[in-house]
Structure 1
Amino acid sequence: MNKTTPPATRQKGTPWSTPAQLLTDVPLPAAAILETPLAHNLAWMQRFADDHGAKLAPHGKTTMAPALFQRQLEAGAWGITLATAVQTVAAHAHGIARVLMVNQLVGRPNMALVADAIEAGLEYYCVVDGADNVRDLGAFFAARNLTLNVLVELGIDGGRCGCRDAEQVDALVAAIAAEPALALVGIEGYEGMIGGDDEIAAVRAYGERLVDTVKTLRASGALQREAPIVTASGSKWFDLIAEAFDKAELREHYTPVLRPGCYVVHDHKLYAGAMEAIKARDPALEGELEPALEVFAHVQSLPEPGLAIIALGKRDIGHEPDLPLPLRLYRRHDDDTSAPVDVRSWRATKIMDQHVFLEIPDSAEVAVGDVIAFGTSHPCLTFDKWRRMLLVDERLAVKEVIETCF
């Protein structure tokens, strides 16, 4: 009896082949990265880091897209920041040669993944904040005859990981010194958990604390690198961390590393607001980041006046801290030269697994089958919902299919 061959698996939101046109050749919903803003953002952030005498190691967990990692490196990035051993191995398998893992490396299976990658040529760094982990790492990597580069993580009260005070740092440095397989090469921090009545002053103080700590460690002889690493910076306060790092002594004797991730596609609200604040703090700053990620979906139903149901849901687009943001409407019978309709005044009110409830004017000219482009707030939570995303030009022609490795 003959067996039938199952049809080829087709990932959502992708055409069978390229070139293709997003609105006519792709089954929607689909996630699209706009080519021109993407190129602009890559160049803008690299120039910002260069202007402040810092290296750029973009946080790859935002996209987990090796094709975007390569673009960031081609634009001048020093390396790629990642969060886990599995992410590290995925990046290395796609040609990434230097990874800064800003997390503790915990658990023998994760250590084995990293050790294999180091043996295969990966330049790897992780962070530590406790003696138990230091001893485990020291024993494991000694048994593998490898040296593991580590950075002390400097935390904040009430924050996530990291040493809370100088005494903890001193004790940790002593524990690292007792492990021949570990090389202490710098200090790491994350300012994104800082709050309070005056966040700006607190972030500035934390940046200065990082700089003072790495200088102290270097003066003590504890750091095993000629130009020790000092690194921090998420996507909200990167200007304040760059300000703390932009000192002649750091430029000459250290390796300051900034590691924002969301800048690569930016967004339409959360980080758009952060960009406005950065521009307000530095009015002379030229240009700004631009949103480059949109998700396209059909109007599926018009069940009652003032309500459109969109064929888009939690499985397709991020919805924290804000619901999807409607941007433009493309009428189903228009060709690709027709101007879309601005629908930024419309409002998403609810999201389910596969549906968005969209509040629209009673007089809105909209029909089932029309397409709406949505923006996002916080791009990380959209990327992880797609295994393939589309790079499109200004006319929404698909130029490339970009794979993710979540």
Structure 2
Amino acid sequence: MFSLTCPQKGLPVTGRHLLTDVSLPALVVHQNALEHNLHWMQALANRHGALLAPHGKTTMAPGLFRRQIAAGAWGITLATAVQSAVAAKEGIKRILMANQLIGRANMQIVADMLQQHQVDFYCLVDSVENVRQLGEFFARQQLKLQVLLELGVANGRCGCRSDEQINALLAAVKAEPALELCGVEGYEGVINGERPQIDDFIERLVAVALQLKNAGVFKRTQPLITASGSAWYDRVAQAFAQQQARDAFLTVMRPGCYLVHDHGIYQQAQQNVLARQPELEEALLPAMEIFACVQSVPEPGRVIVALGKRDIAHDDMPVALRVWHGQATQPVTLDERWRTVKLMDQHLFLAGPTEHTLQPGDIIAFGASHPCLTFDKWRYFCLVDETLAVTEVLETCF
């Protein structure tokens, strides 16, 4: 039987069966769905002539990074200096940090990474002061730092809002010999609007990038232009596929959640993509689930499951999908009458029909909304085949 070797979570063993040999709750990724999603998004990028740099913060699983690179990804996107250093140590040679590099300690992490691993590394800039700090630091290190100008939106997150800010930033980068301006970046996911607002931003991103290229501010013949989260990647891909952008730039898409998808916000986003792009006959598949045991059935219509906020994201409540009763090898689908009504640190309150047959020890598979905030709760997760045999145990590095 399975032997517990990790005090926080049970560390599974390959070759064992999920339902009988793995300590639950457990984070589970279905291998077939993962492979489908991996190749689905790479094919979409290829069709539009774009490069793919999937956002690694979703899983922070180097084993999955390597799969993405092997499938054709240009590089891996990360959010922080520490995440970037982890990826570099694990052999990723091209890293796009879709964030500003702020703070001396973080700059030192990146400098060490550049010296030790010879990584093709990029980060974002949106302020004259940050440019000055970066230029001074990397000049002392005798290193060249590649930066992208970030374009933002009013009331959004980071990024230049006005032409005046862009021009000041360009002058500041030009004055720092240790910095090289390599392209333009934006993130449409901060726009809480409908398609016209998204399209307007993407069109502005391309227009600004072309304007800067025509003005000769980039040294390289094909600078980068990059955008795309996990909701509007189709519109970004289409905008990047326009001849002017495709010929002038390396166009880089950065979705991350597509790899495992979910049963919540990204499932809805995928339906929106399919509505916008009816030629896409297939969809992404939910590959990530959490398996947990029924713990108590204290009263009619109430089931307590050994699963909590420390195990699963709770942007929206987890969705009960299937149950394995007792020693059964085949699951029973749970319909919409079953609802998660409350989530505590280690307990999930599941409401259902009063005449139900769930008992302590039954195993339920749950879907989550937002994979990023599920993966970061786990040190290891199980990759399973269609029989629920554990084919691989992968580590996360949060």
Same fold (TM over 0.5): yes
Is 1:136 matched up with 2:133?
yes
Q: Distance in 1 between matches of 2:102 and 2:8?
A: 33
Aligned to 1:389: 381
Aligned to 2:142: 145
Which digits, 9 at most, give the CA deviation of each residue in 1:147-173, with x for residues without a partner?
A: 100000000000010000111111100
Whether the 8 Å CA contact 1:155–1:163 is kept in 2: the answer is yes
Is 1:298 matched up with 2:290?
no
Q: Distance in 1 between matches of 2:72 and 2:14?
A: 29
The letter of the residue matching 2:312 is I
Q: Distance in 2 between matches of 1:10 and 1:68?
A: 24
Aligned to 2:228: 233
Aligned to 1:332: 326
Q: Determine what percentage of the aligned residue pairs are the same residue.
A: 55
Aligned to 1:168: 165
Is 1:34 matched up with 2:30?
yes
Q: Distance in 2 between matches of 1:116 and 1:290?
A: 39
1:10 Cα deviation from its structure 2 partner:
4.7
Is 1:213 matched up with 2:208?
yes
Which secondary structure does the structure 2 equivalent of 1:92 belong to?
A: helix
| Selected match of 1:242 from 237, 241, 250 | 237
Q: Distance in 2 between matches of 1:364 and 1:45?
A: 40
Which digits, 9 at most, give the CA deviation of each residue in 1:310-350, with x for residues without a partner?
A: 00000000011x1110000001222x3xx210013210000
Q: Distance in 2 between matches of 1:205 and 1:245?
A: 13
Which digits, 9 at most, give the CA deviation of each residue in 1:372-398, with x for residues without a partner?
A: 000011111100000000000011000
The letter of the residue matching 2:161 is R
| Selected match of 1:22 from 1, 18, 35 | 18
Q: Distance in 2 between matches of 1:365 and 1:224?
A: 68
Q: Distance in 1 between matches of 2:6 and 2:240?
A: 48
Q: Distance in 2 between matches of 1:165 and 1:87?
A: 30
Which secondary structure does the structure 1 equivalent of 2:188 belong to?
A: coil
Q: Distance in 1 between matches of 2:7 and 2:39?
A: 33
Which secondary structure does the structure 1 equivalent of 2:155 belong to?
A: coil
Which digits, 9 at most, give the CA deviation of each residue in 1:18-71, with x for residues without a partner?
A: 211000000100010000000000000000001111100000000000000001
Moved over 3 A (4+): 7-11
1:26-105 maps to which residues of 2 (within 5 A)?
A: 26-105=22-101
Whether the 8 Å CA contact 1:325–1:344 is kept in 2: the answer is no
Aligned to 1:3: none
Q: Distance in 2 between matches of 1:172 and 1:283?
A: 41
The letter of the residue matching 1:72 is Q
1:242 Cα deviation from its structure 2 partner:
1.1
1:11 Cα deviation from its structure 2 partner:
4.8
Q: Distance in 2 between matches of 1:38 and 1:275?
A: 16
Is 1:355 matched up with 2:350?
no
The letter of the residue matching 1:360 is G
Structure 2 spans left out of the alignment, 5+ residues? none
Structure 1 spans left out of the alignment, 5+ residues? 1-6
The letter of the residue matching 1:154 is L
Which secondary structure does the structure 1 equivalent of 2:292 belong to?
A: strand
Aligned to 1:375: 367
Which secondary structure does the structure 2 equivalent of 1:192 belong to?
A: helix
Q: Distance in 1 between matches of 2:273 and 2:106?
A: 38
| Selected match of 1:275 from 270, 279, 288 | 270
Aligned to 1:323: 317
1:251 Cα deviation from its structure 2 partner:
2.1
Q: Distance in 1 between matches of 2:280 and 2:301?
A: 42
Which secondary structure does the structure 1 equivalent of 2:365 belong to?
A: strand
Aligned to 1:264: 259
Q: Distance in 1 between matches of 2:326 and 2:66?
A: 36
1:288 Cα deviation from its structure 2 partner:
1.1
Is 1:115 matched up with 2:111?
yes
Which digits, 9 at most, give the CA deviation of each residue in 1:263-283, with x for residues without a partner?
A: 000011211111111111111
| Selected match of 2:332 from 335, 341, 352 | 341
Q: Distance in 2 between matches of 1:9 and 1:50?
A: 41
1:187 Cα deviation from its structure 2 partner:
0.4
Count the aligned residue pairs: 393
